[in-house]
Chains A and B, each alone.
Chain A
Amino acid sequence: MPAVELSGAAVRLGGRTIWSGVDVAVGDGEFVAVLGGNGSGKSTLLKAVLGVLPLAAGGLSVLGRPAGRENARIGYLPQRRSFDSGTRLRGSDVVRLGLDGDRWGLPLPLPGRFASSRRQASARVREVIELAGAGEYADRPIGELSGGEQQRLLIAQALVRRPQLLLLDEPLDSLDLPNQAVVAALVGDICREEGVAVVLVAHDVNPLLPYLDRVVYLAGGHAVAGPVEQVITGETLTRLYGLPVEVLKASDGRLVVVGQPEAPAHHHDRHEHVH
């Protein structure tokens, strides 16, 4: 059973069709990147999978059920800049909120089995922080951490409930190149070792290349899905964009897409710098 299956799917926002005729299947434990220019509807795809945005046409099943029904088994990391430097909360508190932040009432200091479930909760938070490699700074105020450190804690937060599907919206955005490589490797490891299916939205495929099973490329209101070497080619992207597009391969394996209407290299101008 695939983790996510879109067939002939279309989404309309404010009377405009964002994309249509999209067929994508993400298998159990697969690592899939969603690529495309600004405004091509990458984040929209994640919101559709979460059931936040309804489809205008087509079908969508998530973890075997209609979208929105199984969100408790999904870890979601929205697109964001970072926590404000004045946010006076520890990184581990933010991870803990991912575990039980949606429960009403106060965690009372009760004896017996309640105390043991509280210990389990703390242990799970610790475990997932170590898994994300954030143990060193998890008890510092999250606003004082660097973008890369915050991103690791947020990935820990998304993982804390042992989800079967991770939806990550531009987790590499606003990170410097070494941190992009580190976070990409972390997500790759989690995908393989924990058996979690990952759908990751990115501008640049290169940091992800060693870990990806497949990519979904969105452009011009349509999508192509498949292995990297089949999708990121001049031929496929020319067809998708309807414009002549070339894909160059550097000697180290990095891919450079030339000629698409919107060069992803400029996207950093839109974002605030993270210290």
Chain B
Amino acid sequence: MSTNPHLTWNVVHDLSEVLEYHFMVNALEAGSVVAVMAGVLGWLMVLRRETFAGHTLSMMAFPGASGAALIGVGAAWGYFVFCVAGALAIGRSASGGRRSRSEQPAGTGAVQAGALGLGFLFVSLYGGVLGDLENLLFGTFLGISDGQVLVLAGVAAASLVVLAALARPLLFASVDADVASARGVPVRALGVVFLVLLGLAVAATSQVTGVLLVFALLVMPAASAQALTARVGLSLALTVAIGLAVVWLGLGIAYFSTYPAGFFVTSIAFAVYVIVRVGVWVKGASRRDQRLSGQPPAGGVIA
């Protein structure tokens, strides 16, 4: 940036200044794509209690990026290949036992440890310093190419189409596996397909936010929305809205600031989550008080 941008009171002027820069447009486009994709898949991940699997998948970016550097291909290839392979490995480790859900964390942890070890090996084989280590960890919001935006959009569109086709049986299997399987829903296969889709979302998101900040878009919008409402459609819409707002606000503030975009995106997502939790807690406490004092609760149960 040659000139230091200043925030003025003219919002239209500020906005048009931000959008004059191609790298900012790309950042907003890529950020929006991953906010939608990570939001929807993260929503199911939170509902299925597979956050640890999501965390493990984000760690796959380390062997992915270092492996790609080692054989000299683009880092994106490494991200996608390793995240999908990791998803299949977690899926396999979960399908061993009869009560698969409860056995998953140990198997998932094993996959994570193995992958990180592999990444370490790749780094030492590569010899040199992995130049983009900071990018790997904290993302490259402001260095996204046109090609990357296209790849992200393609992967996101394909994943969401598959997800739409599987939507109801996947939801059924996620909350009510026994009854779903009695109804002929292939619960186990859906679990593996979901992990692969989650792997793609994580691979896409971590290219933008970095490995360590994936949960800003994968967990926090979904967790905030689910705390606010139990209506499926509304909850999903809120997740996407929060994700988009977080990305746009974070990037917008970062443009006029000297601090990194990843910091703002993550902090805003965290702030939203905290405000929602506190709000729900306060509302619940006041409802309990009313019940204790014998008054009927004021309308609007959070449902």
Interface residues of B in 23-82 (CB under 8 A from A): 47, 49
Residue from A77, A103, A158 within 8 A of B168 (CB atoms) = A103
Q: How far is the CB of A119 from chain B (nearest CB, A)?
A: 16
Chain B residue nearest in CB terms to A139: B303
Instruction: Count contacts on A: residues with CB < 8 A to the other chain.
Output: 31
Residue from B165, B179, B235 within 8 A of A98 (CB atoms) = B179
Chain A residue nearest in CB terms to B231: A90
Q: A19 in the interface, Cβ–Cβ < 8 Å?
A: no
Chain B residues whose CB sits within 8 angstroms of the CB of A93 once the complex forms: 230-232
Residue from B47, B180, B231 within 8 A of A102 (CB atoms) = B180
Q: A80 in the interface, Cβ–Cβ < 8 Å?
A: yes
Contact A106 B303 (CB under 8 A): no
Contact B230 A90 (CB under 8 A): yes
Contact A71 B164 (CB under 8 A): no
Chain A residue nearest in CB terms to B227: A88
> With contacts defined as CB atoms under 8 Å apart, how many contacts are there between chain A and chain B in the complex?
85
Q: How far is the CB of B16 from chain A (nearest CB, A)?
A: 36
Q: How far is the CB of B209 from chain A (nearest CB, A)?
A: 25
Contact A102 B172 (CB under 8 A): yes
With A97-B171, A102-B185, A140-B303 as known contacts, state yes or no: A76 contacts B231, CB within 8 Å. no
Chain B residues whose CB sits within 8 angstroms of the CB of A107 once the complex forms: 168
Q: A178 in the interface, Cβ–Cβ < 8 Å?
A: no
Q: B182 in the interface, Cβ–Cβ < 8 Å?
A: yes
Contact A102 B230 (CB under 8 A): no
Q: B130 in the interface, Cβ–Cβ < 8 Å?
A: no
CA distance A98 to B184 in the complex (A): 12
Q: B176 in the interface, Cβ–Cβ < 8 Å?
A: yes
Contact size range, B: 20 to 34
Q: How far is the CB of B103 from chain A (nearest CB, A)?
A: 17
Residue from A50, A80, A101, A140 within 8 A of B169 (CB atoms) = A101
Chain A residues whose CB sits within 8 angstroms of the CB of B227 once the complex forms: 88
CA distance A87 to B301 in the complex (A): 16
Q: B167 in the interface, Cβ–Cβ < 8 Å?
A: yes
Chain A window 71-101, contacts with chain B (Cβ cutoff 8 Å), 1 for yes, 0 for no: 1000011101001100111100110011011
CA distance A84 to B227 in the complex (A): 14
Contact A102 B175 (CB under 8 A): no
Q: B166 in the interface, Cβ–Cβ < 8 Å?
A: yes
Chain B residues whose CB sits within 8 angstroms of the CB of A87 once the complex forms: 47, 175
With A52-B182, A106-B168 as known contacts, state yes or no: A94 contacts B176, CB within 8 Å. yes
CA distance A132 to B184 in the complex (A): 25
CA distance A139 to B302 in the complex (A): 10
Residues of B within 8 A of A (CB): 47, 49, 164-169, 171-172, 175-176, 178-180, 182-185, 226-227, 229-232, 235, 301, 303
Q: Pull 8 A–B residue pairs with CB atoms less than 8 Å apart, ordered by A.
A: A78-B179, A83-B175, A87-B175, A90-B230, A93-B231, A97-B168, A101-B169, A107-B168
